[in-house]
Homo-oligomer: A and B are copies of this chain.
Amino acid sequence: MKKADTLFKNAIVLTMNKAMEQFEHGALVVSGDSIVAVGSEAEILAHYEAENVIDCGGKVLMPGLVNAHTHVPMTLLRGLADDLRLDVWLMGYMMPVEREFVTPEFVRLGTKLACAELIRSGVTSFADMYYFENDIAEVTAEAGMRALCGQSVMKFPTPDAASYEDALDYTRKFIERWKDHDLIVPAIAPHAPYTCTPEIIKACADLAVEYDVPIHIHLAETKFEVESMREAEGIPVIPYVKKHGLFKAKVLAAHCVYIDTGEIRTLADVNAGVAHNPSSNMKLASGVAPVQQMVDAGVKIGIGTDGPASNNDLDMFEEVRLAAFIAKGFSGDPTAVPAATALQMATRLGAEALHMGTLTGSLEPDKRADLILVDIDKPHNAPRFRRDPNNTYVQLVYAAKATDVTDVMINGKFVMRENALLTLDEKALMAEAQEYAEKIDAFLLEREQSILSKLVALGGSIEEESFEVQTKIKITDPVDFESALVATSTQGLEIVHKRHYREYDVYFSFDDPTQGRLRYREDEFVAENGDITGVRARLTLIGEANKEEFEKDVVLSRSRYLAPASNSLRFYREYFKPKGEQKIEKDRLRWLVKFQGTEFYINFDQFDKPDLGNFVEIKTRTWSRSDAKRKAEMASELLVALNLGNEENITEDYIEII
A440 close to chain B: CB less than 8 A: yes
A125 close to chain B: CB less than 8 A: no
The answer for the CA separation of A324 and B334 in the assembled complex, in Å, is 21
Residues in B with CB closer than 8 Å to A287 are: 329, 332
A272-310 vs B, Cβ < 8 Å mask (1 yes, 0 no)? 000000010111111110000000000000000000100
The answer for the CA separation of A187 and B288 in the assembled complex, in Å, is 39
Q: Which of B84, B311, B437 contacts A398 (CB 8 A)?
A: B311
Q: Determine whether the beta carbon of B121 is less than 8 Å from that of A394.
A: no
Q: Which of B121, B330, B377, B394 contacts A380 (CB 8 A)?
A: B121
Q: Which residue of B lies closest to A403 (CB)?
A: B403
Residues in B with CB closer than 8 Å to A445 are: 387
A482 close to chain B: CB less than 8 A: no
Residues in B with CB closer than 8 Å to A223 are: 332
> Which parts of A361-418 form the interface with B (CB within 8 Å)?
377-387, 390-391, 394-395, 398-399, 401-403
Copies in the assembly, this chain: 2
Residues in B with CB closer than 8 Å to A378 are: 430
Q: Which residue of B lies closest to A574 (CB)?
A: B335
The answer for the CA separation of A403 and B379 in the assembled complex, in Å, is 12
Q: Determine whether the beta carbon of A384 is less than 8 Å from that of B325.
A: no
The answer for the CA separation of A434 and B378 in the assembled complex, in Å, is 12
Q: Contacts A326-B326, A335-B83, A430-B382: A399 and B76 contacting too (C-beta < 8 A)?
A: no
Q: Determine whether the beta carbon of A288 is less than 8 Å from that of B399.
A: no
Q: Contacts A83-B334, A287-B332, A334-B83: A76 and B383 contacting too (C-beta < 8 A)?
A: yes
Residues in B with CB closer than 8 Å to A311 are: 398
We find that the number of chain A residues with CB closer than 8 angstroms to chain B is: 82
Tell which of A112-120, A171-179, A346-354 binds the partner.
Answer: A112-120
Q: Which of B113, B308, B329 contacts A282 (CB 8 A)?
A: B329
Main SS class of interface, A: helix
Distance in Å from the Cβ of A437 to the closest Cβ of chain B? Answer: 3
Q: Determine whether the beta carbon of B334 is less than 8 Å from that of A283.
A: yes
Q: Contacts A85-B334, A334-B284, A444-B387: A382 and B434 contacting too (C-beta < 8 A)?
A: yes
Q: Determine whether the beta carbon of B279 is less than 8 Å from that of A79.
A: no
A505 close to chain B: CB less than 8 A: no
Residues in B with CB closer than 8 Å to A321 are: 318
Residues in B with CB closer than 8 Å to A531 are: none
A160 close to chain B: CB less than 8 A: no
Distance in Å from the Cβ of A156 to the closest Cβ of chain B? Answer: 23
Q: Determine whether the beta carbon of A313 is less than 8 Å from that of B399.
A: yes
A315 close to chain B: CB less than 8 A: yes
The answer for the CA separation of A381 and B313 in the assembled complex, in Å, is 7
A82 close to chain B: CB less than 8 A: yes
Q: Which of B89, B286, B441 contacts A385 (CB 8 A)?
A: B441
Q: Contacts A83-B335, A325-B322: A436 and B398 contacting too (C-beta < 8 A)?
A: no
The answer for the CA separation of A82 and B391 in the assembled complex, in Å, is 8
A233 close to chain B: CB less than 8 A: no
Q: Which residue of B lies closest to A386 (CB)?
A: B441
Q: Determine whether the beta carbon of A339 is less than 8 Å from that of B83.
A: yes
Residues in B with CB closer than 8 Å to A332 are: 223, 285, 287
A593 close to chain B: CB less than 8 A: no
26 pairs across A/B with beta carbons < 8 Å?
A78-B382, A79-B391, A79-B395, A82-B338, A82-B390, A82-B394, A89-B334, A223-B332, A282-B325, A283-B325, A283-B398, A284-B334, A285-B334, A308-B399, A311-B398, A312-B394, A312-B398, A326-B329, A377-B430, A379-B426, A382-B433, A383-B434, A383-B437, A387-B444, A387-B445, A401-B403
> Which residues of A does B touch, CB under 8 Å?
75-76, 78-80, 82-86, 89, 113, 116-117, 120-121, 223, 279, 281-288, 308, 311-315, 318, 321-322, 324-326, 328-336, 338-339, 377-387, 390-391, 394-395, 398-399, 401-403, 426, 429-430, 433-434, 436-437, 440-441, 444-445, 448, 574
